[in-house]
């Protein structure tokens, strides 16, 4: 199975994506800041359960593509790298702020968990990672492709629980800072765009190397 530098590269890439403020992170921050840490953690669990849908879809879809045609799988990988670069450029040159934290209506924890699932399922950042970047770390020579995708996907979910849980624990005390002028300014846009460009460049390099 995937191990060594390739596995380490996947972990680093996953952490970079998870730490980029997106719909899931903003949802956690808003809930933790307005309803407490318990609400934030309920949201974290919901987001993780929703991410499992992406894991199942990637395991089924990407495996089917590879089993059908290795060339098609390579094309998916190259298109994924190009799309990541496109996202980075679009984010950098966008004049609108990419961060917007509102004040959500309080809900019971069960409702927050369900909402977290829905947000995660329809979160484009997760879909992009699984479809555009995860294939860079799949190597048919080291084991069954479906199992590799499944294990990498589950590893992503575990890392998400850790990083999102950290956001939930910290956002209560840092709510003013996270929702203030810093997050509304241009810096998050530059950071997000730069990270997407870096991920795209890494993916493209990995494709050429293989």
Counting every residue, how long is the chain?
210
pLDDT of residue 51: 92
Residue with tokens 């190597």: 139
Separation of alpha carbons 41 and 134, rounded Å: 26
Ramachandran category for residue 94: left, alpha or beta (phi over 0 → left; psi -120 to 50 → alpha): beta
Helix (H, G, I), strand (E, B) or coil at 144: coil
Which helix (H) or strand (E) is 13 found in, with range?
helix 4-19
Asked if residue 160 lies in contact with residue 53, where contact means CB atoms within 8 angstroms, the answer is no
pTM: 0.71
pLDDT tens by residue, 23-43: 777 778 778 877 778 888 999
pLDDT of residue 108: 78
For the record, the structure tokens of 180 come out as 């203030």
Which residues contact residue 199 at a Cβ distance below 8 angstroms, ignoring those fewer than 6 apart?
Answer: 13, 16, 17, 84, 88, 133
Separation of alpha carbons 169 and 12, rounded Å: 22
Three-state SS string over 25-47 comes to HHHHHHHHHHHCHHHHHHHHHHH
pLDDT of residue 84: 66
Q: Is the dihedral of CA 127, 11, 87, 182 positive or negative?
A: positive
51 closest CA partner among 112, 129, 110:
129
For the record, the structure tokens of 2 come out as 């995937």
- State the 10-residue block means of pLDDT for the chain, 210 residues long: 76 84 76 81 92 88 67 67 72 59 64 86 78 78 84 93 90 58 56 66 55
pLDDT of residue 97: 47
Q: What string of DSSP letters covers 100-123? A: ----PPP--HHHHHHHHHHHHHT-
Which residues contact residue 160 at a Cβ distance below 8 angstroms, ignoring those fewer than 6 apart?
Answer: 18, 47, 48, 51
pLDDT of residue 13: 83
Q: What string of DSSP letters covers 178-204? A: HTSHHHHSSHHHHHHHHHHHHHHHHHH
């Amino acid at each position: 199975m995937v191990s060594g530098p390739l596995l380490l590269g996947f972990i680093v890439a996953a952490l970079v994506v998870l730490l980029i403020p997106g719909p899931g992170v903003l949802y956690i921050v808003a809930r933790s800041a307005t309803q407490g840490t318990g609400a934030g953690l309920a949201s974290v669990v919901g987001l993780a359960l929703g991410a499992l849908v992406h894991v199942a879809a990637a395991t089924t879809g990407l495996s089917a593509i590879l089993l059908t045609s290795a060339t098609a799988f390579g094309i998916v990988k190259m298109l994924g790298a190009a799309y990541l670069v496109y996202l980075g450029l679009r984010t950098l040159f966008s004049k609108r702020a990419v961060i917007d934290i509102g004040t959500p209506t309080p809900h019971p924890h069960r409702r927050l968990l369900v909402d977290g699932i829905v947000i995660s399922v329809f979160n484009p950042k997760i879909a992009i990672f699984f479809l555009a970047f995860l294939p860079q770390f799949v190597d048919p020579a080291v084991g069954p492709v479906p199992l590799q995708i499944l294990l990498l996907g589950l590893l992503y979910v575990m890392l998400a629980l850790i990083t999102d849980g950290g956001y939930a624990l910290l956002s209560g005390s840092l709510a003013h800072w996270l929702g203030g002028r810093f997050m509304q300014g241009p810096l998050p846009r530059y950071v997000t765009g730069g990270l997407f460009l870096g991920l795209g460049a890494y993916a493209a390099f990995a494709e050429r190397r293989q």
